[in-house]
Amino acid sequence: MASRRKWTSFAVAMLVLAWLAYVPQFYGQSELVPWSEALYFSIAALGLNLLTGYNGQISIGHGAFFGVGAYTTAILMEHNAWQFLPTLPIVIAVALVVGAAFGFPALRLKGLYLALITLGIAALFPDLVNRFASKYGTAGTSLIQPPRVLAPEWASGFAEADDQYRYYMLLVVGVVMLILAANLVRGRFGRALVAVRDHEAAASTLGVNIARVKVGAFAISAAYAAVAGSLSVLVNGSANAGKIEVFRQSILFLVAVVIGGTATVAGPVIGAYVVVFGQDFAKDIFDDKPELAPAVFGVLLVVLMYVLPDGIVGGWRRLIARRSRSDGLPPLPSASPAH
């Protein structure tokens, strides 16, 4: 039974991956944009899920780490003439350091207080960029537009257009990040994350180093957000830190994690696609009134939470559990809700 489920999941994952690989062949340039956005959004949500879902530390500030990644890549490409891919290790290193730096004070804070401090990070980031990074970009807006990544000769077989090539780069990085995250949560560190979330005192008597786990979770999730930010430069051709964008992104990452299903591997990815395409859908409903789109999306969120309080993956599991119970089989264990 368990192995049959495993194989089913694997087959579904392969099908989804095949579809995602086929997407650039199917859609034109403008239609490809949301698919690319959903990819980098997924990566950020995957990372935030490690922190919030598995480790129970809520952050509404990961838009700032996203921005750190975007600016690091954009500055290196624009002013140091780097290629895109070599910037990724630097981005990861910078984000690990920055993330850990914020993780340390977070050790003292819990729940709401932590959430608000992270909100502060998101609120501050644009000001800091304006102050310190504006020499790199257009004064006032701090927009940096590095040269676009172009499709190389060898890729012409599957990606004639540059945006197709860029999409495949995103997809590859995304799959790598997903596999890394899945392995992480199934291993020792993942168990430590959950143990600390569910019972800090008990975890520490079992020899888990609470501080290391919490700071580590912060650093790793920051790195994920930063990689997502780097990739956003690939898609949008720019790094930008508008006050509203950073705040919105921070919120939407968390939204993606929760509506997908906290502390599940696939949840944040599904949530990211729902967030990206849900907003697109909201725009289409009132074509003549674009300002109503956030209202539609907001209502969508509220309704989703009423119907699926444990997220899409959680709801799916409940459905399967109910079906298998009516078959006379024992119910499947569902994910424990985060605290």
| Min separation Cβ 18 and other proteins, Å | 32
Show contacts with other proteins in window 130-159 (CB under 8 A). 130-131
| Min separation Cβ 14 and other proteins, Å | 30
Show contacts with other proteins in window 198-257 (CB under 8 A). 244, 247, 251, 254-255
- Candidate list 205, 291, 328, 333; residue touching other proteins; CB under 8 A: 291
Q: How far is CA 13 from CA 18, 46, 280, in A?
A: 9, 16, 24
The answer to the question of residue 263 lying near other proteins (CB under 8 A) is: no
Which residues, 6+ apart, have CB-to-CB distance to 48 below 8 Å?
A: 59, 62, 221, 224, 225, 253, 254, 256, 257, 268
Tokens of 1: 């039974």
Which residues, 6+ apart, have CB-to-CB distance to 99 below 8 Å?
A: 65, 218, 219, 220, 221, 222, 223
CB 67 within 8 A of CB 229: yes
- Candidate list 110, 148, 191, 318; residue touching other proteins; CB under 8 A: 110
| Min separation Cβ 128 and other proteins, Å | 6
Residue count at the site for other proteins (CB under 8 A)? 49
| Min separation Cβ 240 and other proteins, Å | 17
The answer to the question of residue 305 lying near other proteins (CB under 8 A) is: yes
Give the bridge partners for 239, in sequence order.
144
CA–CA–CA angle 129, 271, 257 (5° rounding): 65
| Min separation Cβ 286 and other proteins, Å | 9
- Candidate list 86, 147, 152, 298; residue touching other proteins; CB under 8 A: 298
- Candidate list 183, 198, 294, 319; residue touching other proteins; CB under 8 A: 294
Gyration radius of the chain over CA positions: 20
Nearer to other proteins, 82 or 316 (CB): 316
- Candidate list 85, 309, 319, 323; residue touching other proteins; CB under 8 A: 309
Nearer to other proteins, 167 or 247 (CB): 247
Nearer to other proteins, 180 or 299 (CB): 299
Options 40-48, 92-100, 204-212, 306-314: segment touching other proteins (CB under 8 A): 306-314
Give the x/- contact pattern for other proteins in 87-106, rule: CB under 8 A.
Answer: ------------------x-
Which residues, 6+ apart, have CB-to-CB distance to 40 below 8 Å?
A: 170, 174, 228, 229, 231, 232, 234, 235
Q: How far is the C-alpha of 147 from the C-alpha of 134, rounded, in Å?
A: 18
The answer to the question of residue 85 lying near other proteins (CB under 8 A) is: no
CB 224 within 8 A of CB 48: yes
* Amino acid identity for residue 295 in this structure: A
Nearer to other proteins, 240 or 279 (CB): 279
The b/e string for 101-113 (b: 16+ C-beta within 10 A; e otherwise) is ebbeebeeeeeee
CB 95 within 8 A of CB 223: yes
The answer to the question of residue 71 lying near other proteins (CB under 8 A) is: no
Show contacts with other proteins in window 1-40 (CB under 8 A). none
Q: How far is the C-alpha of 133 from the C-alpha of 94, rounded, in Å?
A: 15
- Candidate list 124, 175, 320, 335; residue touching other proteins; CB under 8 A: 124
Q: How far is the C-alpha of 66 from the C-alpha of 41, rounded, in Å?
A: 10
Contact positions vs other proteins (CB under 8 A): 52, 58, 105, 108-113, 115-117, 119-121, 123-124, 127-128, 130-131, 244, 247, 251, 254-255, 258-259, 262, 289, 291-295, 297-302, 305-306, 309-310, 331, 337-339
